[in-house]
Amino acid sequence: MIIVLIGPPGSGKGTQAKVLSEKYGLAHLSTGDMLRAAKQSGTLDPEFRAIMDSGGLLPDTAVIGLVARRTQEADCAGGFLLDGFPRTVPQAEALAAMLRERAAGSTTPAGVTAVLQLDVARELLEERIIHRRTDKETGQIYHLLYNPAPPGLMRDPGSLEHRKDDQPEAVKTRLDAYDSMTAALLPYYEERGLLRRVLGVGTPNEVTGRIVAVLEEK
């Protein structure tokens, strides 16, 4: 299985990717997490760090290279779930080429299995993002109101991260980048019969149930 999760910032891609990758035994490839890890370790180009912090998208070539290398790692052999990639048509074309190359000379199917678009109204997204907190150690995603971290973590202010790009100005830039760039990707996958829209509103469990129903109807 090769699953692509698309959705605006705060739509629940990371939350759902964690559950689905465990359920289906897939590697979870989040370009946002990979870039934040590079930032944390000081290996991210300072120019890219500034783009990320302000909420803009990195150049296609930078993220394509990252994903191409990651998909060659052993844990991706049985399939993977992409969270936050592709975000543009050139990235989708690069992914298609990567998958053709990977399938050459083997029985592995040559393309994406399904593209799931999480649909959440913009008014709800800002509230979800501004109250997001992430466990620095495990990467577990919480929400101060809807899904608070366990009391031990809440009492330790250093254990939870409030992402730099979760500040209101950067959030607006990210939502605009989604509307102007990523939305162009939806017709690309729709024309190929791969796009499935899933309502991303309700509890995280309800959203997972809808995704599983879509994946298992295939």
Residues engaged in binding ligand AP5 (CB under 6 A): 7, 9-15, 31-32, 35, 51-52, 55-58, 63, 84-85, 87, 91, 128-129, 132, 141-143, 146-147, 165, 174, 202-204, 207
| Minimum distance from residue 174 beta carbon to ligand AP5 (Å) | 5
What 3-state class would DSSP assign to 25? coil
Annotated active-site residue 13? The verdict is yes
Give yes or no for a contact between 33 and 139, defined as CB atoms under 8 angstroms apart. yes
Q: Which residue number places its CB atom closest to ligand AP5?
A: 32
Annotated active-site residue 163? The verdict is yes
| Minimum distance from residue 210 beta carbon to ligand AP5 (Å) | 10
Nearer to ligand AP5 by C-beta: 65 or 108?
65
Annotated active-site residue 132? The verdict is yes
Annotated active-site residue 87? The verdict is yes
Give yes or no for a contact between 120 and 12, defined as CB atoms under 8 angstroms apart. yes
| Minimum distance from residue 145 beta carbon to ligand AP5 (Å) | 8
Annotated active-site residue 196? The verdict is no
| Minimum distance from residue 107 beta carbon to ligand AP5 (Å) | 29
Whole-angstrom CA distances from 139 to 2, 6, 182, 199 are 22, 20, 25, 24
- List of residues 6+ apart from 112 with CB closer than 8 A: 2, 3, 4, 95, 96, 99, 189, 194
Instruction: Tell which residue, 34, 30, 25, has the closest CA to residue 79.
Output: 25
- Provide the β-strand partners of residue 81: 3, 28
Nearer to ligand AP5 by C-beta: 104 or 205?
205
Nearer to ligand AP5 by C-beta: 108 or 127?
127
Token pair of 204, please? 């995280």
